[in-house]
Amino acid sequence: MRLHKLSLTFCLVFLFTFEWTDASRLSVSGKKLTYNGKSVFLSGVNFAWNSYGSDFGNGKYMANSKSTFERWLKEVASKGGNSVRVWLHVEGDNTPRYDANGYVQSPDGTLFPEMKTFLNTAKANNILVVFVLWNGAYLRNRKTLDLFRDNKKLQSYIDKVLKPMVKSLAGHPALGAWEIINEPEGLIYDNTRDGNNCFNTLPLYKSGAGFNKPQQALVTMRETLLFINWQAAAIKQTDPGALVTVGTWSERSMNGLSSNSRNYYTDACLIAAGGRALGKLDFYQVHTYAYPCHASFAPNSPFKVSAARYGLDKPLVIGELSQRCSGGSSIEQLYEYAYKNGYQGAWGWQYYNDPDPKKDERDDSIDTLNKGMLKLRGRNAAGGLVNFPVN
């Protein structure tokens, strides 16, 4: 009887460990994204959040967002979308759990199963999910900011939350990628001189970087790149097949086309900051808006040049865009341009009908974003396959 129980236990552990062994997953081939061996284009939207910072963990998914997210996933699928970008910890107010000294103690009791429930629903709708761990565009939680400045505290997050989280979801066919941080440039001092060009932010001076306020909330580029390098390495150690990206706020921080731009997220820069060889990105991601919204895009913005123009060594996805801040382009034109000009994806901002349209002038309506996805529904040309089974 005891032997039988041990055998049953072993089988259950084996099945759990290899639940998704035979599943397909998003991968990289040169400068292309692929799924099940086929070149694909990630046509989708930013959910970002339903309840800012409180969509997952501590029972929040069931209480706040499950029904809304499930409805949105079905609608995105019906419009031909194949991917969504969703924010997780955000500023760190709900998860993870910090102790009084700012060390991470645990995720909480519900975070991992809630994420898996969301992924299962995404899979049922043939949608890939990119989980965004942190928000650099707006970050007020002092304990989360300390993860950039204190390596022991960052390691406590990696050991207590990140690695267990990645392990619990490893190989899930709907898990498209992990994004370490949204728009880290919001946190960065934009006028730091450094002998190593990877950490020298003078090219970003007066560019708009460092928009997180107050000044005490800013960090150096070196600290930011270490923050990314260590977490990317931990993800790769735990799930070697997982993809990792970062959502850059502008093309100015991920290319070297002019004297006021630089690619800070190269393999060499990330490793120089953190020293962990696995801590690299698998694909680049850029956000782009005309500023002001009625103006034209900047000369080197994605909607003015092809992806190839940046000379990058990895795939490039347009992670945020909006019709409202496009200088007059329609949402259909934006998605079409991305598809035909070498980009590997386009995600409109934001799948959320804000009751106050003046709160963020970039926000497109759900109806508008649906039109963008509909433009590419069923497409299977040189830009990549748009609709494919997630299994």
pLDDT in tens, the chain (391 residues): 444 444 444 444 444 444 655 579 999 999 999 999 999 999 999 999 999 999 999 999 999 999 999 999 999 999 999 999 999 999 999 999 999 999 999 998 899 999 999 999 999 999 999 999 999 999 999 999 999 999 999 999 999 999 999 999 999 999 999 999 999 999 999 999 999 999 999 999 999 999 987 767 799 999 999 999 999 999 999 999 999 999 999 999 999 888 889 999 999 999 999 999 999 999 999 999 999 998 999 999 999 999 999 999 999 999 999 999 999 999 999 999 999 999 999 999 999 887 665 668 899 999 999 999 999 999 999 999 999 999 9
| Distance of alpha carbon 111 from alpha carbon 101, whole angstroms | 22
| Distance of alpha carbon 209 from alpha carbon 249, whole angstroms | 8
Interior CA angle at 90 toward 88 and 94, to 5°? Answer: 80
Backbone dihedral angles phi then psi of residue 248, each to the nearest 5 degrees: -75, 145
pLDDT score recorded for residue 357: 59
- The strand pairing partners of 263, in sequence order, are 254
| Distance of alpha carbon 265 from alpha carbon 108, whole angstroms | 31
> 47, 70 in Cβ contact below 8 A?
no
Question: What is the torsional sign of CA 279, 345, 373, 40?
Answer: negative
| Distance of alpha carbon 5 from alpha carbon 152, whole angstroms | 41
- Count Cα atoms within 13 angstroms, Cβ side, for 119: 24
Backbone dihedral angles phi then psi of residue 288, each to the nearest 5 degrees: -145, 130
Which of 183, 185, 223, 336 is the catalytic position?
183
Question: Hunting for tokens 């956000």 — which residue is that?
Answer: 287
> 226, 274 in Cβ contact below 8 A?
yes
Comparing CA positions, the residue from 43, 349, 309, 329 lying closest to residue 182 is: 349
Which of 114, 251, 320, 336 is the catalytic position?
320
Q: Is 332 among the catalytic positions?
A: no
| Distance of alpha carbon 118 from alpha carbon 129, whole angstroms | 9
Comparing CA positions, the residue from 226, 189, 228, 232 lying closest to residue 209 is: 189
**Is-above-0.85 flag for pTM?**
yes
**Residue 317: enclosing H or E segment and its boundaries?**
strand 316-321
* Gyration radius (Cα) of the chain, Å: 20
Q: Is 70 among the catalytic positions?
A: no
